[in-house]
Amino acid sequence: MNVKNICCLGAGYVGGPTMAVIAQQCPHINVTVVDVNATRIAAWNDADLDKLPVFEPGLDNVVGEARGRNLFFSTDVDQAIDEADMIFISVNTPTKTYGKGKGMAADLKYIELCARQIASVSKTNKIVVEKSTLPVRTASAIKNILDHTGNGVEFQILSNPEFLAEGTAVDDLLAPDRVLIGGDTSDKGQEAIQALVDVYAHWVPKERILTTNVWSSELSKLTANAFLAQRVSSINSMSALCEKTGADVNEVAKAIGLDSRIGSKFLKSSVGFGGSCFQKDILNLVYIAKTYGLNEVADYWEQVIIMNDYQKNRFSNNIVSTLYNTVSGKKITFLGWAFKKDTNDTRESAAIQVADNLLNEQAHIAVYDPKVTEERIYADLDYLNTRAEEENRSLLNVKNDPYEACKDSHAIAVLTEWDEFKTYDWQAIYDNMLKPAFVFDGRGILDIKSLENIGFVCYSIGKGFNK
């Protein structure tokens, strides 16, 4: 089957960039990305490419090339479904905040709504592709909905999880380590798989396109994120031990990473992992394991989250104890709010938890992040519901200038590894701070020796003080 019209439900961090790259690489396929959020769609259509709703290096060029040619953003979901041969579902699958599985299971209400809408609108056969990260066996639920409320239309369900990381989304999409496609083992299932393989084969080498059964594909996505997050929690657990023993976590990471069986990537100790995926997907995995009675499996993976929470709290506790056991009324500057560099995404960012802990201690916080808006930062804090919204606004201020943010503060905490932090005039920053002037580098990116020469008292994650 030759795919001519693709539609994608969900114009978020995954749907937008993924479809933009498909459209750029396959000019003969019409790609329409739809969303129920009209503001988001308007931003995707903004003539000013700096105003796209997702910031990703290189994305403006990809969208600029394909938009209006064969890439369209729209709120007309029904029309896009009707015209498509292949429909990607790329809507959000957050952790449930109510009912059974609250705080653990994935909330599949948006997925189900999509399936029902596809079923009611479709008049021709469609291939439905799960792009969202889903619990293993979700495809059977989607198939049930499609088969029982459809108009006699035939649907094939594929699983095609997305492995892009934010901040490098365009590069990851253009040169993926692998593309994974899971489908039914029947002839029609295999035909559907081939149709999607043919789309990717326009730019991805064939040997990197892996096909499996649906369940393996669904479970591989959760497994990949669990393994990646586990590496970060493993090195972060060692960071605490390094600080007690005089070992340096970067040296330990290098020493073990040179073992080709371990590998060097994803061993950067930090203030804790964030992002919309790791915590959500591990909680989901833990929940699935429990529903099958696999309690030891569940407990094993839950430790990855427990260690991550420990790391975030350890960082804020260390700030309080270092500042003579009180930060009440003291100004502390946060450099960075995003969950990692090169993105404006703040979901589950370690900065949020660290800020909340320090605000509980009555600290005054000034935040500077090159890409995150003031509105977003307050929304992140308000969402926690720890204190009144007015209190969040009076205790925490957002600055557009890093030097202004650092002025008159007792301590600077680096929460995100933005490259620009390394290039600042740290002498000027020091001169305008209260003394002793502390730096808590939660990302291990600053040149601690030169900061100490200026006069700063420096803590670096996994090294501690003065090493």
> What, of ligand UDX, ligand NAD, none, does residue 225 touch, CB below 5 to 8 Å by kind?
ligand UDX
* Continuous H helices in 84-186: 109-121, 138-149, 169-174
Closest CA to 34 of 19, 21, 24: 19
**91 vs 170 by CB, closer to ligand NAD:** 91
9 is a contact residue toward ligand NAD (CB under 6 A): yes
8 A C-beta contact, residue 349 and residue 277: no
Q: How far is the CB of 100 from ligand NAD (least distance, A)?
A: 20
Helix H or strand E encompassing 73: strand 71-74
Residues 37-66 that bind ligand NAD (CB under 6 A): 37, 40
Residues 105-144 that bind ligand NAD (CB under 6 A): 110, 113-114, 132-133
Q: Is 278 annotated as a binding residue?
A: yes
Structure tokens at 173: 């999409």
Q: Is 456 annotated as a binding residue?
A: no
- The residue ranges that bind ligand UDX (CB under 6 A) are 162-166, 225, 228, 232, 266-268, 270, 273-275, 277-278, 339-340
Residues 163-192 that bind ligand NAD (CB under 6 A): 164, 166
90 is a contact residue toward ligand NAD (CB under 6 A): yes
344 is a contact residue toward ligand NAD (CB under 6 A): no
Q: How far is the CB of 206 from ligand UDX (least distance, A)?
A: 22
8 A C-beta contact, residue 141 and residue 290: no
DSSP 150-172: SSS--EEEEE------TTSHHHH
Whether 277 is catalytic: yes
Q: How far is the CB of 170 from ligand NAD (least distance, A)?
A: 13
Q: Is 18 annotated as a binding residue?
A: no
Q: Is 39 annotated as a binding residue?
A: no
Strands 457-460 and 464-465: what pairing?
antiparallel
283 is a contact residue toward ligand NAD (CB under 6 A): no
Q: Is 221 annotated as a binding residue?
A: yes
Task: Please report the sign of the dihedral spanned by the C-alpha atoms of residue 58, residue 59, residue 63, residue 64.
Answer: negative
For residue 102, the tally of other CB atoms under 10 A from its CB is 11
Q: How far is the CB of 420 from ligand UDX (least distance, A)?
A: 16
First to last CA, the chain: 62
Helix H or strand E encompassing 127: strand 126-130
Q: Is 123 annotated as a binding residue?
A: no
Closest CA to 272 of 331, 232, 242, 324: 232
77 is a contact residue toward ligand NAD (CB under 6 A): yes
Distances, alpha carbon 362 to alpha carbons 41, 271, 331, 359, in Å: 40, 21, 10, 5
> Torsions phi, psi of 410, nearest 5?
-85, -30
Q: How far is the CB of 12 from ligand UDX (least distance, A)?
A: 12
- Active-site option among 114, 242, 277, 458: 277
C-alpha radius of gyration, the chain, whole number: 24
> What, of ligand UDX, ligand NAD, none, does residue 77 touch, CB below 5 to 8 Å by kind?
ligand NAD
> Torsions phi, psi of 10, nearest 5?
110, 110
Q: Is 13 annotated as a binding residue?
A: yes
Instruction: Count CA atoms within 13 Å of residue 10 on its CB side.
Output: 22
Closest CA to 91 of 37, 15, 32, 159: 15
**10 vs 275 by CB, closer to ligand UDX:** 275
Task: Name the site residues for ligand NAD (rule: CB under 6 A).
Answer: 9-15, 34-37, 40, 77, 90-93, 110, 113-114, 132-133, 162, 164, 166, 276-277
Q: Residue positions in the annotated binding site for substrate?
A: 162-166, 221-225, 261, 268-274, 339-340, 443
Q: Which residues are catalytic?
A: 277
Binding residues: 10-15, 35, 40, 91-95, 132-133, 162-166, 221-225, 261, 268-274, 277-280, 339-340, 347, 443
Q: Which residues are annotated as a binding site for NAD(+)?
A: 10-15, 35, 40, 91-95, 132-133, 166, 277-280, 347
